[in-house]
A and B are shown apart, each in its own frame.
Chain A
Amino acid sequence: MRLNSILKSGFIVLIMFMLSTEVALSQDIPVWNKALLKDSVTALLTKYQVLHNQINSQADSSVVWSFMHLFPNPKVQVVNDLEGPAKITKISIEEFIVKLADLFPEGLNLTLDLSRPTIDQPKYDRNNRYILRVRLNRFISGISGGKVFSSKQKIIFIIAFYYSDNAPGNFTIYGMELPPAGQGVISAVVSPANTGFNNTTLNTDARLINNRGMVVNGGLSYTYFSSIHWGYGAGIQLSQYSGSVSLDKFDSYAGFDPSLTNVLINNELWFAELPLYFSYRSNLSKRFELRADLGLSFGFRIFEEMGSSAVNHNTGLTMTNVISDAGWISQMKRFNMGLLGNIGVAYKLNNQIGILAGLGIRQGISGLNNNSRTDFLSTRYEGQYNPLWGAPGKTINQAFFINLGASIRINGKDEK
């Protein structure tokens, strides 16, 4: 099976897998009325805001009781940042009320930015109960111990509700969290790749056939996720690009026929590449995560090799190094730049380590060489030079690859 077929099959399997995961996840989930969910969440959080702002050392017990009943029980854990950002903890809501009244006898004014909340898709919990997460900005200000206290913080409200008679109801605040701090992820991949060199002139030539090659590349990368979904990263990769040009036979040169047929000219370039990219991730399930990268890759050529072979028409023997092109390397550029893209799935073995599988592409943008053969059209079949680097127009490198590897999270926690 050719590599292109393998890559296509791999891609189809990957897409089917991702679709099947989505289907599996969505099998028992009702079709939600998003507007109704948003209205219900907004009503609950508005009530939370109003009652919160009525709590102080003189607050009526009915206010406290009503506030407490926004939560399913008094032990629900909420974020306590009443003592400043250096002392953020999680305490129960009943402890929070006591602390609030104690630290802010005149009350603590809270404003939730309900104009632009981010509401996740509800997830089934148990017994017809669903959980959803709402992210929004929260502002608080008050006076504590004679000092003005204020804070702006992104908060995640975890909201539970029941679904019965085809309608959501009984919305309560099931918990509160701070968004996870940034996460750093180190990944190591090995990439079997189908590579080649593209040149428009060569690709349309009837006799010079541009062939691709198979290699195995690999590298390390570091991705920093500054939010749940988005991040950016850099890495180092050792990449080989392999391709060959075949020709039926060399034409006579200056009246002499070299009697060489079935010509094959191999080209191998090795680069140290520095990928810089933006990254996206999304949980497909508890264990599986979709990951995608898009960015630029900067290459520095470290090795190169050119080889040629042909069959002697008279003897039938295969001869090697039938071309003397001493100047080809002087026409090559040391640096190049290209686009990179990766998409794949990570399977989390535990809280820190995962294994990766996916597909990727590198597409050169800058040319690899300075084409200087103005006589290419009249001399291209004579074997006086490597036609890949003599062809007019930009010659660029390209690779389609399968990524197989592992990743280790080195800091930060997953959002549950």
Chain B
Amino acid sequence: MSGKKLYIIVAIALIAGLLNTGCIKIETLPQLEIQVVDETGAIVSGASVALFDSSDEWNKRINPVQVWRQTDTSGKVLFVDLKEIKYFVYVRYDGKDNSVDEVSTDVALEVNTKKVMTIHIR
């Protein structure tokens, strides 16, 4: 085997090894997909959604972690580049909100994971 071929094989093996052992790892920050439905279970598009990192701020509706978003025609909105923490979700649409229903992700989000939640408003 020529020296040049050996170098190439060693280089490929080294990179593959680093990727495999996690020394080189490309991670995706946590994502949260929220689908909003009303009390009948019908999807709600155009609902305003915000995330908070504490129940206190959720109560006051101040300092959302990202800008407010709106659900699309399938009633969904996707938040990306989040942190590995528990989030409090507030949804409002046409005088209805989720204050008497699901309000948090229960557990901290994880990297490389998209958590999917259904939020009811009434």
Contact = CB atoms under 8 A, between A and B. Distances in A.
Contact of B80 (A250, A255, A319, A324): A324
Interface in B58-85: 62-70, 78-82
Contacts, number: 55
A28 to B, nearest CB: 51
Contacts of B81: 307, 321, 323-324
A384 B78 CA distance: 11
B117 interface: no
Contact of B79 (A256, A259, A319, A324): A324
Interface residues of A, number: 22
A276 to B, nearest CB: 25
A39 B40 CA distance: 102
A260 B62 CA distance: 11
Contacts of A256: 48, 50, 64, 68
Contacts of A307: 81
Nearest to B46: A254
B31 interface: yes
B103 interface: no
Given A250-B67, A259-B62, A384-B69, A326 B29 contact: no
Main secondary structure of the interface of B (DSSP, over half): loop
B84 to A, nearest CB: 12
A253 B67 CA distance: 8
Interface string A236-276: 00000000000000100111101110000000000000000
Nearest to A255: B48
A319 B48 CA distance: 21
Contact of A321 (B50, B66, B70, B78): B66
Interface of A: 250, 253-256, 258-260, 307, 312, 314-315, 319, 321-326, 382-384
Interface of B: 29, 31, 48, 50, 62-70, 78-82
